Chain A
């Protein structure tokens, strides 16, 4: 086993972990606040990649503008989904919203498969991010490095917004006791809709980051989302810090498994999930209820 191969897998692991972290962060925020298991998360991640593609093909807008525009567009789609459909299911068993968002996934994927098949369309990384970066201890593809940095910044920004700002205090209060929060004069229904928009906006952002790596493909979300749900369960449903930490950690673990025992690399996350559920059913960072 060469040092270079180990480091290469580690780099891929960390950047995969960056996607797990961003996606599970959105899921955790949505679950914590709305009690919705958002199965549409993967499809909205895919939608983010397609919107980036359309921006490039139809409007000639490149990668960096897409990083700004796509989260807003996908966030607005989320707001629309919430206002027209999800909102009607508030207060019902979470199973209903799970089925609804699963249905939305099937519809979205169906539409894009009809027009684009399942092979995928390439989306190239911007010239500024092509090449390799020498980190001293290893040489890493610049784009992977960028993904890790961008994801870390977005994860930290989201954590900061939730844990350290006034709006974040509203979100935490409403997560803990929505009824009382609203009785203090805070418009909780609007807060819930915004949270859903924010959570899926993160998925849209991740979709743009993923486009140059995975190609833009109608099924790119489904391939990832099952692992991401396992990450959320390991971190603790609804735990923001748990989602970020376990996202990165499991990406690294998966990378290492590819080096030392490749046969197990596709299942290692689920093995970890089973063990965590046995030992700590609320997840690593979850509070037992």
Chain B
């Protein structure tokens, strides 16, 4: 694996209770890259993110973040390595206001965005700052979930299905945000069911099946490989 990898996952195994979900997951993400994990429902994409963040505790193998081994660390310590996690279904807290949601994650690295910069990027969040977090629309909640980790100074972002259940116009907007973040030098690992969306913003794709990577495709080879990808994804 390349040495400039911000995130390097090797032979990652993970279990939910007794059920063995990841079977030797391995891939790497280089600085400034957007990498997408694609694959069918239940292939282990979300579990991979949850194992990287330490939310899934029963795991073996190696997860290196900025060359720190994270496999034995607790989830709060892993976040402090500079990881920003945008979970599946957004994870907005109902008992917190929009502003409290935004301010919840502590800074993990210096030079995170200020609250003012965030509001400039997402003016809607300022208008609704005092509302209950879950009173926002789905799209606004997704913006909040992304904005929340931009404040922390994390430079490696894990996004779990950021377009799930959202209207096409919002999906386009999120695509713009991801491309924008890449141009600012963020490193992003994206999990997507929506392959056509992933194709608009990722540099490389790892195809996940049965808890391991079965293929790797660079953005440039998409056309040539479209037949195989369709077969993997069952579309």
Interface residues of A (CB under 8 A from B): 166, 169-170, 172-173, 175-177, 179-188
Any A CB within 8 A of the CB of B159: no
Interface size on B, residues (CB 8 A): 23
Docked-complex contact A184 and B85, CB < 8 angstroms: yes
Q: Enumerate 7 A-B pairs (CB-CB under 8 Å) in ascending A order.
A: A169-B103, A169-B104, A172-B100, A183-B54, A183-B76, A183-B87, A185-B79
Any A CB within 8 A of the CB of B95: yes
Interface residues of B (CB under 8 A from A): 53-55, 74-76, 78-80, 85, 87, 91, 93-96, 100, 103-106, 108, 152
Docked-complex contact A172 and B93, CB < 8 angstroms: yes
Q: Which residues of A contact B96 (CB under 8 A)?
A: 169, 172-173, 176
Q: Which residues of B contact A180 (CB under 8 A)?
A: 55, 87, 91
User: Once the chains are docked, how many angstroms separate the CA of A183 from the CA of B54?
Assistant: 7
Residue from A169, A177, A183 whose CB has the most chain B CB atoms within 10 Å? A183
Known: A173-B96, A173-B104, A184-B104. 18 other contacts (CB 8 A): A169-B96, A172-B93, A173-B95, A176-B94, A176-B95, A180-B91, A182-B75, A183-B54, A183-B55, A183-B78, A183-B79, A183-B85, A184-B76, A184-B105, A185-B76, A185-B79, A185-B80, A186-B105
Q: Which residues of A contact B95 (CB under 8 A)?
A: 172-173, 175-176
Of chain A, the residue at the smallest CB distance from B148 is: A184
Q: Which of A177, A179, A186, A188 contacts B106 (CB 8 A)?
A: A186
User: Once the chains are docked, how many angstroms separate the CA of A183 from the CA of B91?
Assistant: 11
Q: Which residues of B contact A169 (CB under 8 A)?
A: 96, 100, 103-104
Of chain B, the residue at the smallest CB distance from A185 is: B79
User: Once the chains are docked, how many angstroms separate the CA of A185 from the CA of B148?
Assistant: 13
Q: Which of A166, A175, A185 contacts B152 (CB 8 A)?
A: A185
Q: Which residues of B contact A172 (CB under 8 A)?
A: 93, 95-96, 100
